[in-house]
Amino acid sequence: MRSVGPSLAVALLLLATACGRVVDGQPVASPSGGDESLIAEYFQRSNAAAEDGAAAQKQFLQRTQHPDVPLRCDLGELTVLFDPSLGTLRPDDGWRPAGAGEVPRGRVYVVAVLATVREGETTVGTQVGSMHVVVLDAAAYGFAPCPS
């Protein structure tokens, strides 16, 4: 049996950066209009790409990386499935990605997610956390998770 120790360590680092920080404040009503459906579709497409394998998810993450934030990470052979709790979706207008000087353009949202990291068909880690998605020009953009 092959050891998944190094993969698990990478997965845990990935989850720590992908899921972000705890968000302070009180819950507010979910966004109305098309933003919630765009965000739900973003996660559906990300998961469909993950099911197709690491290369497909990498292409998806490249295409949907927010244009103001360069893609800095490569998941290698890992894939990440996200199960968002859309009832927790709320605006997070002042949020900035780590290392970014400004808030990204568009409407910034934060949502609770269950992230499952897989290597091939093997689950190497799961974590509940928060994730940011931005709606800009009628499209949902994310921020690719980093394994370190």
Are 81 and 93 in contact, with CB atoms under 8 Å apart? no
Distance (Å, whole) CA 57 – CA 51: 8
- What pLDDT score does 83 carry? 97
Average pLDDT value over all residues in the chain:
83
Tokens 């000087």 belong to which residue? 101
91 closest CA partner among 139, 132, 136: 132
Rounded to 5 degrees, φ, ψ at 51 are -65, -30
- 53, 69, 111, 139 from 7: Cα distances, Å: 16, 27, 26, 33
Are 84 and 111 in contact, with CB atoms under 8 Å apart? yes
CA angle in degrees (0–180, nearest 5) for 139-27-11: 65
Hey, what are 114's tokens? Answer: 């269950």
CA dihedral (126, 32, 96, 46) positive or negative: positive
pLDDT band at 5 (very low <50, low <70, confident <90, very high): low
Tell me the pLDDT tens digit for each residue of 56-115.
999 999 999 999 888 778 899 999 999 999 999 999 999 998 878 889 999 999 999 999
65 closest CA partner among 114, 136, 115, 147: 136
**pTM for the whole structure:** 0.78
